[in-house]
Chains A and B, each alone.
Chain A
Amino acid sequence: MESVIAGLIIAVIKILVILGVVLGVGAYLTLVERKVAAHIQRRPGPMVVGWHGLLQPLADGLKLMTKEDLFPRYGNRVLYNLALIMALVPATLVFAVIPFGPEFELFGYKIKPILTDVNVGLLLVFGLGSLAVYAIALAGWASNSKYPLIGSMRKAGIIVSYEVAITFAVMGPLILAGTLSTYNIVEAQIEQKLWYVWLQPVAFVVFMFSLLAETGRVPFDIQEAEAELVTGFTVEYGGMKFGLFPLVEWYVEVLSLSAIAVVLFLGGWSPINIPFIGFIDPLFFLGPLSPFVWFILKVTALFLFILWLHWTLPRYRIDQITEIAWKVMLPLALFNLVFTAIIAPVVWR
């Protein structure tokens, strides 16, 4: 009985930590994005609120909260609000299967820094991740307006196309690891002394393309397309409701998919890897904290990479996006899968 209660308490603490970190970091990433964008474009960015604009997210939050809550006159109120919930919930649920570090012991209890280490964690990630399309489709339809509907339909088309590519792309690392559990995939990489990006560069590239497409980042941000669609499906939303969609799409989802990319291709919490020889840890002086720092560092690096793309590249046309998905990415991922499936059992085991 005592162990059950302890397990429950640990689970609740994990949930609170994950929710707090994800939503708090998500809010502060808005500042990071604005600063990075500003420096890419040779301007200082937010400087007024706090030191170098450090309090800007709070000010933005306050502004969004106190704004009038407008609702389009002929919209559908139930679906309009349901869309918000359906955007936020699956995106944060994905973090339940992301392992942040190795197992450690605290007060005699063994704790895995992952909420639920299920056998099919990776499938859940993609199942939940693409539930986001419903939120966007609903937001577009319930607003009863032209721009949102066009934006949401574009997004639905993109997600349908890239969901296929991303699922086939992750099959390569799966074959090498031989498991669907995210925690065990990282452990397999540490055991084999190999980040899978060295053997699966093609899968990694396809994964990154799909990440950009699913989260609506440039060059695939056709559903927002400020110039033609104003801001796509968020046109009729105001105040904090408006703020929630970019928060979920651009920050929470990017974070979760970057974390999955780190888990699948960059060895999770393991330090710098030399293929087949071992790991070098320049952060050894941090002791047991070093794996967590490595995980955060890798996710941050990926996130900054995505920001860099976002603020330098132009935007694709919708037909180009779907063409890339079906004619380039899917065949590449399929070829990679077949190649891995043929070679891996011969060389690997």
Chain B
Amino acid sequence: MIKWVIFLSFSLWAIISGVGVVLFSNPVYVILWLLSALISIAGIFFVAGAELVGALQLLIYAVAIAVFYVLVLTAVPWEKALKKDTHFRTSGILSLPVVLLLYVEMALVFILGIAASPEGKFREAIKKLGNTEVIGSVLFSKYFFAFEVVSLVLLVGMIGAVIIGRKEKQTYENDTP
């Protein structure tokens, strides 16, 4: 009973934060709403008993990833932050079908995923071994291939970042007389 109350309050908090992310125009407020949404989702994980996932949600999303948006603040002058209008109105309307398609896809994956989810299969193992150990053993045995493919995707992203961020030594040398 009390679990449901906590779960519902966290869900409500997450939904309100999500609406806040969409409605506010000041980027600083948007970052804060996003942070609040991420923290409430971590709370939902904790209520569900997935301690490790909750802590990782907090550590990776709320801190490591959302922090990078904070660096956006340097690029937000005060006058721009207070303005209400946005540049991308037509682009937003044009991209609506794509967004809808993506949502349908997400719903499909979600519905298919419910059928494939190992509901209750690991409950005994979690009781015996603990959350972290079970996630580790499942990740590195059953889902090992998917795990490696995902890390490859991340590697590609990292290489891209390094290429974008590299110094172009040649041009500087040519400039010096």
Cα-based distance from A160 to B67 in the complex (angstroms): 7
Cα-based distance from A180 to B67 in the complex (angstroms): 24
A-B contact number at CB 8 A: 73
* A189: Cβ under 8 A from any B Cβ: no
* A163: Cβ under 8 A from any B Cβ: yes
Asked if A127 meets B78 with Cβ closer than 8 Å, knowing A120-B52, A134-B70, A138-B28, the reply is no
**Number of A interface residues in the complex (CB < 8 A):** 31
- B58 near A119 with CB under 8 A, answer no
Those of A123-180 within 8 Å (CB) of chain B: 123-124, 126-128, 130-131, 133-134, 137-138, 140-141, 144, 149, 152-153, 156-157, 159-160, 163, 167, 180
**Which DSSP category, helix, strand, loop or mixed, fits chain A's interface?**
helix
- B73 near A127 with CB under 8 A, answer no
| A153 proximity list for chain B (CB < 8 A) | 71, 73-74
Cα-based distance from A119 to B134 in the complex (angstroms): 13
| B32 proximity list for chain A (CB < 8 A) | 79, 82, 134, 138
- A127 near B67 with CB under 8 A, answer no
- B130 near A119 with CB under 8 A, answer yes
- A131 near B63 with CB under 8 A, answer yes
- B64 near A163 with CB under 8 A, answer yes
* B11: Cβ under 8 A from any A Cβ: no
- A159 near B67 with CB under 8 A, answer yes
- A123 near B63 with CB under 8 A, answer no
Cα-based distance from A149 to B28 in the complex (angstroms): 13
Cα-based distance from A156 to B75 in the complex (angstroms): 14
| B52 proximity list for chain A (CB < 8 A) | 119-120, 123, 180
| A119 proximity list for chain B (CB < 8 A) | 51-52, 130-132
> Which residue from B51, B54, B74, B130 sits with its C-beta under 8 Å from A149?
B74
Chain B interface (Cβ < 8 Å from any Cβ of A): 28, 32, 35, 51-52, 54-56, 58-59, 62-64, 67-68, 70-71, 73-74, 76, 78, 130-132
In order of increasing CB-CB distance, the 9 nearest A-B pairs are A123-B55, A127-B58, A120-B55, A127-B59, A137-B70, A130-B63, A120-B51, A141-B73, A119-B51
